């Protein structure tokens, strides 16, 4: 494999535990030269054994930036450079194939070999991001050790795997800036050098994943910007020798994060913003701005894993925008909206869309329960930037003000290729999740989220299978109520309501057809957990399951599950047999 140039040594050896600022790295801005945008001295040689197409892709990724190299007179320069201050390896999603083939990181990969999987978040990472509220109540915690995660925290870990499939560019630029600014010590990522790691170490992968999660929960200092404000802000901040902002660019290709480190004046209100793009690890590239016209554009010749070019610009349609991202807020401990003591608002997030379905989010609407459009002042759209491949795109997240009942409607008319989609609603002390197994052009879905009552209602047709899952954090127990509904005629109208005061969960069939239902119930505490399942029970129209859990705490006690035929109010006619299981 080709050699990867080693970077300059850190001026600090201080170790940080997680995301705490401990030391400032002193940087001396290198002089600007006409070779900016070209590979570093000696470059990265093409590894032996690559196919012709792999060699071509390698040249595009590690060659010079060409017409997109920064040009002009420097008017602000932090001293950061993609080499030696950026990461040597490539932005990645669900596979480390290119990093292994091209760079031997984290280990070499033979042709036709099976790549290793990226490392996902664990309980230590969740504690670093959100604090100890992610751990079940009563557990004796080691300050830096693992813990038993609550059901809500486990749901976020599952989501992180899905969110990371699109890429980790936000993590790349945030962690690289954190290293350069002294917020993170190289020693914390198992490297003695500021230059991007010589290996994709486990601590490095975990740090990247943590910041991917932070993007969904941190909006501090992140805002859309005009070009005049952008140049003014960067000119003031980069002159300090630090890189406090990321740039989040959005458009038809999706969302992407890059790190601005210098501003160059080209005359006539034209500026080049020199950026580190983790899709092209060692190239100095330029995002071009026209302040008078308030326009911008950026083009990349290839994405890792694909030979096509992508272009972002202010002329790219209504989704086109540039946001300034605050680096420090992505590296600090986040507020935990799903913990027991947390901020009181609602977050709505979606799993990635296939690129062919990138416009499907335009069909998602927020309504009042009576069908009126939800006032835009009651919610905020938060775009997500993590572009690493052309197969997937990240839909925006939504933040809704506290105390608001709302309905999410999804019209499948913009879905070109059937796919699964998960919508997750994150609320204080709970998470509600809806899985649509087969989102297709003909699908019409209405998902109601109650703020005052723990309600998640799904009305969808046609559909093969729907899952509704709700977690609930009640000291000392953490609960998970999961229902899987298979309609007989392709139409679903089902409501899951969890009442923490009455200690009961109710699943009701509101459709005109009998539904086949499986329930899975779990309770976790520091002393252990227990699982119960009710498999494949027919639920007639109007009927409902009632699960009572007042006497069920972790491994002690048992939930009771009843079937109400729907004919008489609260007449519980059948006690449903359930099976205790060790795990599922």
Question: What is the structure's pLDDT at 232?
Answer: 96
Would the pLDDT of 25 be above 60? Answer: no
Would the pLDDT of 304 be above 70? Answer: no
Cα distances (Å, whole numbers) of residue 512 to 213, 369, 493, 562: 41, 21, 9, 21
Q: Which letter, b or e, does each residue of 507-521 get, where b requires 16 or more Cβ atoms within 10 Å of its Cβ?
A: bbbbbeeebebebbb
Question: What is the structure's pLDDT at 424?
Answer: 93
Residue 303's pLDDT band (cuts 50, 70, 90): low
State pTM to two decimals: 0.88
Would the pLDDT of 27 be above 50? Answer: no
Would the pLDDT of 193 be above 60? Answer: no
Question: What is the structure's pLDDT at 342?
Answer: 61
Question: What is the structure's pLDDT at 12?
Answer: 26
Residue 70's pLDDT band (cuts 50, 70, 90): very high
Question: What is the structure's pLDDT at 472?
Answer: 95
Q: Work out the mean pLDDT of the chain and round it to a whole number.
A: 84
In tens, the pLDDT along 100-128 reads 999 888 888 887 889 999 998 999 999 99
Least confident of 142-151, 182-191, 400-409: 182-191
Question: What is the structure's pLDDT at 5?
Answer: 28
Would the pLDDT of 291 be above 50? Answer: yes
Residue 219's pLDDT band (cuts 50, 70, 90): low
Task: Let me know the angle formed at the C-alpha of 343 by 338 and 347, rounded to the nearest 5 degrees.
Answer: 55
Would the pLDDT of 87 be above 60? Answer: yes
Q: What is the rounded average pLDDT of the residues 38-65?
A: 77
Give one DSSP letter per residue of 161-203, joined into a string: HHHTTT--HHHHHHHHHHHHHTSS-GGGGT-SBSSS-SS--HH
78-87, 216-225, 441-450, range with greatest mean pLDDT = 78-87
Question: What is the structure's pLDDT at 2?
Answer: 28
Higher local confidence (pLDDT), 173 or 186: 173
Least confident of 358-362, 428-432, 448-452, 486-490: 448-452
Helix (H) or strand (E) holding 152, with range, is helix 151-163
Question: What is the structure's pLDDT at 251?
Answer: 83
Would the pLDDT of 309 be above 90? Answer: no
Question: What is the structure's pLDDT at 491?
Answer: 84
Burial, 48: exposed, middle or buried (Cβ in 10 Å; 0-12, 13-18, 19+)?
exposed
In tens, the pLDDT along 517-565 reads 999 999 999 999 999 999 888 898 999 999 999 999 999 989 999 888 8
262: closest CA among 77, 83, 29? 77
Percent of the chain with pLDDT over 90: 43
Least confident of 7-11, 31-35, 479-483, 575-579: 7-11
In tens, the pLDDT along 336-355 reads 989 876 667 788 999 999 88
Question: What is the structure's pLDDT at 382?
Answer: 85
Q: What's the CA gap between 540 and 288, in Å, rounded?
A: 61
């Amino acid at each position: 494999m080709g050699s990867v140039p080693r970077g300059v040594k850190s001026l600090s050896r201080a170790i940080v535990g997680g995301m705490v600022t401990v030391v400032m790295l002193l940087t001396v801005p290198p002089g600007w030269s006409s070779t900016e945008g070209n590979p570093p001295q000696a470059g990265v040689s093409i590894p032996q054994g690559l196919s012709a197409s792999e060699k071509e892709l390698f040249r595009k990724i590690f060659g010079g930036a060409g017409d997109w190299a920064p040009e002009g007179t420097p008017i602000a320069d932090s001293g950061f450079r993609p080499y030696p201050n950026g990461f040597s390896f490539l932005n990645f999603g669900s596979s480390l194939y290119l990093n292994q083939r091209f760079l031997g990181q984290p280990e070499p990969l033979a042709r036709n070999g099976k790549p290793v999987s990226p490392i996902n978040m664990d309980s230590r990472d969740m504690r670093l991001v959100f604090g100890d509220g992610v751990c079940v109540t009563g557990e004796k915690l080691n300050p830096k050790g693992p813990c038993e995660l609550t059901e809500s925290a486990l749901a976020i870990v599952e989501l992180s795997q899905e969110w990371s499939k699109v890429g980790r560019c936000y993590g790349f630029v945030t962690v690289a800036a954190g290293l350069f600014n002294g917020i993170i010590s190289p020693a914390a990522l198992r490297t003695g050098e500021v230059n991007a790691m010589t290996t994709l170490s486990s601590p490095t992968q975990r740090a990247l994943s943590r910041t991917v999660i932070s993007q969904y929960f941190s909006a501090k200092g992140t805002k859309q910007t005009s070009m005049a404000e952008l140049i003014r802000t960067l000119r003031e901040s980069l002159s300090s020798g630090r890189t406090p902002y990321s740039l989040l660019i959005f458009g038809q290709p999706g969302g992407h994060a890059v790190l601005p480190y210098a501003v160059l004046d080209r005359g006539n209100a034209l500026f080049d913003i020199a950026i580190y793009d983790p899709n092209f690890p060692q190239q100095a590239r330029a995002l071009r701005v026209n302040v008078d016209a308030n326009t911008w554009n950026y083009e990349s010749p290839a994405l890792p894993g694909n030979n096509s070019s992508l272009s972002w610009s202010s002329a790219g349609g209504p989704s086109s925008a540039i946001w300034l991202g605050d680096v420090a807020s992505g590296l600090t401990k986040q507020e935990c909206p799903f913990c027991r003591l947390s901020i009181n608002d609602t977050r709505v997030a979606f799993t990635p869309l296939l690129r062919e379905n990138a416009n499907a989010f335009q069909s998602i609407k927020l309504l009042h329960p009576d069908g009126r459009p939800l006032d835009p002042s009651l919610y905020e759209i938060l775009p997500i930037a993590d572009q690493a491949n052309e197969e997937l795109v990240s839909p925006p997240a939504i933040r809704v003000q506290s105390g608001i009942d709302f309905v999410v409607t999804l019209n499948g008319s913009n879905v070109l290729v059937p796919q699964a989609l998960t919508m997750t609603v994150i609320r204080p002390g709970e998470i509600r999740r809806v899985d649509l197994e087969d989102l297709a052009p003909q699908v019409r879905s209405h998902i109601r989220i109650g703020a005052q009552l723990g309600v998640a209602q799904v009305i969808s047709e046609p559909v093969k299978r729907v899952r509704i899952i709700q977690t609930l954090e009640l000291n000392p127990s953490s609960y998970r109520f999961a229902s899987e509904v298979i309609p007989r005629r392709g139409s679903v109208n089902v409501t899951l309501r969890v009442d923490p005061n009455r200690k009961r969960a109710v699943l009701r069939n509101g459709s005109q057809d009998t539904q086949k239902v499986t329930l899975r119930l779990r309770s976790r505490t520091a002393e252990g957990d227990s699982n119960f399942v009710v498999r494949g029970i027919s639920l007639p129209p109007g009927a409902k399951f009632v699960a009572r859990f007042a006497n069920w705490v972790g491994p002690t006690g048992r939930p009771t599950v009843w079937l109400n035929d729907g004919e008489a109010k609260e007449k519980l006619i059948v006690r449903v047999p359930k099976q205790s299981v060790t795990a599922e």
